[in-house]
Structure 1
Amino acid sequence: MAHLTFSHAPMGGGKSLAALVRHHHVGARGMTGMLIVMQPREQGMVASRLGVSAPAEVIDGDTDLWEMISAAVREDGVKHVVADEAHFFAPEQIEQLARIADELDVTVEAFGLLTDFRTRLFPSSARLVELADRLVTLPTGPLCACGEIATLNARLVDGVMVTDGDQVLVGDVTGDRVRYEPVCRSCHVAVGATAATPAR
């Protein structure tokens, strides 16, 4: 019986690397796998910050995953699907992934963030929590600047942490005007409270 698994970690937690490793293992066992991603930056690739990458099928929020993967099962014998950046998927696409596991007997492993920079669940991550057969917190937890294990994500704009704004705003972990850092809850609360304090 196939399962739907959701593996999550904060920024820098090794999600894409874990997705690439799983996809590699599937191929090494002689099975046909499919790597999919909704990625606003580099088209056609899943890439880890450690320098490992692989070609992927790039989707958008309107892609019918049931139709796409059903065709791949019929035409290419796909037995396993790895979905990276799953927090960017539409909730309806998560439901399609669950249906693919249930009705096509295709194992689906989704990798992504659990919460946004405001500590709120992404809608698709919430749907994965509701539907997944298995929930996995990846063990490769990044460190907060204070040295504790990071469990949350912080958005920095021009080096200043912000707690308001659009849920999705493309940035990076280094270099950009908008960037993201993994943080522990204590630091997120402390810096967030400071940012929210009006100047006197």
Structure 2
Amino acid sequence: MPELVFFSGTMDCGKSTLALQIVHNRTARGLQSVIFTRDDRAGQGKLSSRLGLVTDAVEVTDDADLYGYLVEKISRGGRVDYVVVDEAQFLAPGQIDQLARAVDELDKDVYAFGITTDFRTRLFPGSQRLIELADRVEALQVEALCWCGERATHNARTAGGVMVVEGAQVVIGDVDRDADDVGYEVLCRRHHRRRMTSATARASTLSPDVLPVNHG
């Protein structure tokens, strides 16, 4: 039976790499895909990973009808064996419903990849709808690590290396941006709560986990 599968994790956990691997494996078997993405780091109409792999994709806009796109492609004689969606957290809830409809009415597997929560630890609307509708939710097995070495569970937005907790939910950035730019960093829950990024930890004269001892 076709499925809607949501592969989720933090930034830097290899979700785009896995999406590209799925496309590679199925292409080698003669299967043809439609790849949707939105706001990829490589620019519009691209699906890319930090390993340097990149392929063309259909850029999703605010008013795009994903189900309608697939129906039109098939009605024109195009072949669609399965669908891959990267940066699925940026899709509108209604577009997630369209993907579920493609599974149920077009009998197509849909593999959606995205991060679950934003820099404020709030669910993205697209991710929330995927959790509500997906046949399966798979946590990606490649663990991103906080600067302290613990498993990273939260995404942090940074400006000049300092964690920020206010602003628009979507600001495009990456985990390898220069410290002076708006960027992102993955942190464990403890250091996300303390707003302790790698840059602020280096700048501190004390270990972030050690308090001074009073010998008086």
TM-score interval (norm. to shorter): over 0.9
User: Is the contact made by 2:7 and 2:138 (CA closer than 8 Å) also made in structure 1?
Assistant: yes
- Decide which structure has the larger Cα Rg and report it: 2
Is 1:185 the counterpart of 2:189? The answer is: yes
In 1, Cα distance between the equivalents of 2:164 and 2:182? 10
Give runs of aligned pairs for residues 32-181 of structure 1, distance below 5 A: 32-39=32-39, 41=41, 42-74=43-75, 75-173=77-175, 174-175=177-178, 177-181=181-185
In 2, Cα distance between the equivalents of 1:50 and 1:31? 24
In 2, Cα distance between the equivalents of 1:59 and 1:167? 18
User: Is the contact made by 1:38 and 1:59 (CA closer than 8 Å) also made in structure 2?
Assistant: yes
Q: Which moved more, 1:99-108 or 1:160-169?
A: 160-169
User: Is the contact made by 2:15 and 2:113 (CA closer than 8 Å) also made in structure 1?
Assistant: yes
Give the total of aligned pairs: 193
In 1, Cα distance between the equivalents of 2:31 and 2:184? 36
Aligned-partner SS, 2:193: helix
Structure possessing the higher relative contact order (Cα contacts under 8 Å, 6 or more residues apart): 1
1:198 maps to none
TM-superposed deviation, 1:40: 5.6
In the superposition, the TM-score normalised over structure 2's length comes to 0.86
TM-superposed deviation, 1:25: 1.5
TM-superposed deviation, 1:72: 2.4
Aligned-partner SS, 1:191: coil
Identify unmatched segments of 5+ residues in structure 2.
201-216
| RMSD between aligned residues | 1.5
In 1, Cα distance between the equivalents of 2:171 and 2:127? 17
Q: Deviations over 1:15-62 (max 9, x none)?
A: 110111111112112111111101265122111011111111112111
Q: Deviations over 1:135-194 (max 9, x none)?
A: 0000111110010111110000121101121111122222261000111111111227x9
TM-superposed deviation, 1:73: 2.9
TM-superposed deviation, 1:78: 0.2
Q: Which moved more, 1:41-50 or 1:108-117?
A: 41-50
In 2, Cα distance between the equivalents of 1:85 and 1:52? 16
2:25 maps to 25
Q: Give identity over the alignment, percent.
A: 48
Identify unmatched segments of 5+ residues in structure 1.
195-200
Q: Which runs of 4+ in 1 moved over 3 A?
A: none
The letter of the residue matching 2:9 is A
In 2, Cα distance between the equivalents of 1:153 and 1:71? 37
